[in-house]
């Protein structure tokens, strides 16, 4: 039984007939009134509302609504049609999500297991409402972790030759299916622009430094060489530019002059676990909106 199956059980009444509406549009007076009015007209009860304006004088407006509407699955088409009409009038980019849906995650790993273990734990505990559909790795080290959790494991070796790397990516893509989100849980390979482009705003990486400082493969060594007093981790959406995608979550931990590189790695493992798991949770709860090179996070 997979972690997703073990956590699913009977339908959770907290998410039955619950929808989420996420909106981005040019800021102008009346947007909130129009959307809340629509919800009232269809008989929906708004249970949570968060909004942000980049600039109230001509900026971009962002909104996340959570609402309860009896019979939501049957009424979804009606609601989408009315939202589409409003979108044309107000220039809205929007998405409507059924909160009962459990997104599927494909997790890519290499040899370290701490962030994968955290994701598995949170799914099992019900803290992360998702299902890990598979684990893909360029090594076999973590196969026992995946198999022990009942998750399909796929070994896709990667060699330095560009042709071989392209073939490995193609093989990995063939294994994913219609997955909702790809998570790079310390997957120590650089993905091609083509691969990243297949998952726009659906590919999350954990980088073991407080970006934009110390990009690349060995940031703890670089941090040690600079004598930093804070180390950190960054979860971000992946783009074609290395370690430069929109940042979702960051956290730091204090170190001092006595800390070795290995000390930093040990402390950093705990930070990485928290940061990636939080970013994935916010993503699957539709709390993240990408705004160019930045994100709006309705935590």
Instruction: State whether 87 and 115 are in the same domain.
Output: no
Residue 142 sits in the same domain as residue 277:
yes
Do 188 and 87 share a structural domain? Answer: no
Residue 230 has phi, psi (to 5 degrees) of -130, 130
Is a pLDDT exceeding 70 seen at residue 9? no
- Tens digit of pLDDT for each residue in 78-98? 999 999 999 999 999 999 999
Q: Residue 227: which pLDDT band, with cuts at 50, 70 and 90?
A: very high
User: Across residues 158-179, what is the average pLDDT?
Assistant: 86
pLDDT at 4 over 50: no
Q: Are residues 216 and 86 in the same domain?
A: no
We report the CATH number of the domain holding residue 251 as: 3.40.50.170
Q: Provide, for the chain, the percentages of residues in helix, strand and coil under a 3-state DSSP scheme, each rounded to the nearest 5.
A: 35, 25, 35
pLDDT of residue 12: 82
Q: What pLDDT sits at residue 160? A: 75
Q: Specify whether the CB–CB gap between 108 and 168 falls below 8 A.
A: no
Residue 243 half-sphere exposure toward CB, CA atoms < 13 A: 20
State the average pLDDT for the chain.
93
17 is catalytic: no
pLDDT digits (tens, 9 = 90+) for 264-280: 999 999 999 999 999 99
Residue 92 sits in the same domain as residue 163: no
Q: How many domains does the chain have?
A: 2
Which one from 17, 113, 243, 286 is the annotated catalytic residue? Answer: 243
In the prediction, which pLDDT does 161 show?
Answer: 73
Same domain, 124 and 68: no
> How high is the pLDDT of residue 1?
40
Domain limit, last residue, from 65, 98, 131: 98
Question: Which pLDDT value is given to residue 182?
Answer: 98
The reported pLDDT for the residue numbered 162 is 61
Q: Is the domain of 280 the same as that of 184?
A: yes
Region 68-77 average pLDDT: 96
Does residue 226 share a domain with residue 159? yes
Cβ neighbours of 50 (radius 10 Å) = 14
Mean pLDDT throughout 59-65?
A: 97
Mean pLDDT score, 13-37: 95
* Alpha-carbon span 267 to 286, nearest angstrom: 30
Instruction: Please check the confidence at residue 3 and state whether its pLDDT lies above 50.
Output: no
185 and 76, same domain (yes or no): no
My answer on whether 256 and 110 are in the same domain is yes
User: Does residue 246 share a domain with residue 199?
Assistant: yes
Residue 238 has pLDDT above 70, yes or no: yes
Instruction: Return d(Cα 7, Cα 213) in angstroms, integer.
Output: 38
Q: Does residue 5 have a pLDDT over 90?
A: no
High-pLDDT (> 90) share of the chain, %: 84
Judge whether residue 25 has pLDDT over 60.
yes
Six token digits for residue 242: 């290395």
State residue 10's pLDDT score.
63
Domain end, chosen from 98, 131, 150, is at: 98
Domain that holds residue 291: 104-297
Same domain for 281 and 234: yes
């Amino acid at each position: 039984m997979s972690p997703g199956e073990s956590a699913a059980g009977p339908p959770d009444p907290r998410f039955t007939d619950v929808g989420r509406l996420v909106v981005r549009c040019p800021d102008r007076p009346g947007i909130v009134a129009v959307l809340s009015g629509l919800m009232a007209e269809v008989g929906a009860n708004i249970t949570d509302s968060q909004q942000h304006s980049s600039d109230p004088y001509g900026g971009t407006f962002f909104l996340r609504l959570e609402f309860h509407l009896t019979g939501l699955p049957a009424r979804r088409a009606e609601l989408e049609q009315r939202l589409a009409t409003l979108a044309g009038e107000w220039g809205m980019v929007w998405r409507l999500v059924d909160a009962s849906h459990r997104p599927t995650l494909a997790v890519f790993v290499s040899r370290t297991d701490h962030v994968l273990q955290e994701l598995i734990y949170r799914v099992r505990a019900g803290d992360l409402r998702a299902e890990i559909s598979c684990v893909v790795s360029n090594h076999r080290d973590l196969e026992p972790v995946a198999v022990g959790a009942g998750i399909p494991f796929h070994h896709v070796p990667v060699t330095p030759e560009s042709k071989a790397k392209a073939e490995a990516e193609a093989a990995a893509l063939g294994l994913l299916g219609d997955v909702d989100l790809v998570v790079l849980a310390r997957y120590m390979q650089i993905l091609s622009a083509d691969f990243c482009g297949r998952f726009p705003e659906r590919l999350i990486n954990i980088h073991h430094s407080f970006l934009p400082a110390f990009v690349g493969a060995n940031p703890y060594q670089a941090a040690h060489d600079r004598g930093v007093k804070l180390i950190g981790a960054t979860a971000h959406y992946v783009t074609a530019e290395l370690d430069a995608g929109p940042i979702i979550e960051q956290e730091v931990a204090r170190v001092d002059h006595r800390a070795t590189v290995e000390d930093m790695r040990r402390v950093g493992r705990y930070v990485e676990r928290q940061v990636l798991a939080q970013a994935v949770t916010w993503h699957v709860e539709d709390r993240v909106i990408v705004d160019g090179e930045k994100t709006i996070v309705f935590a």
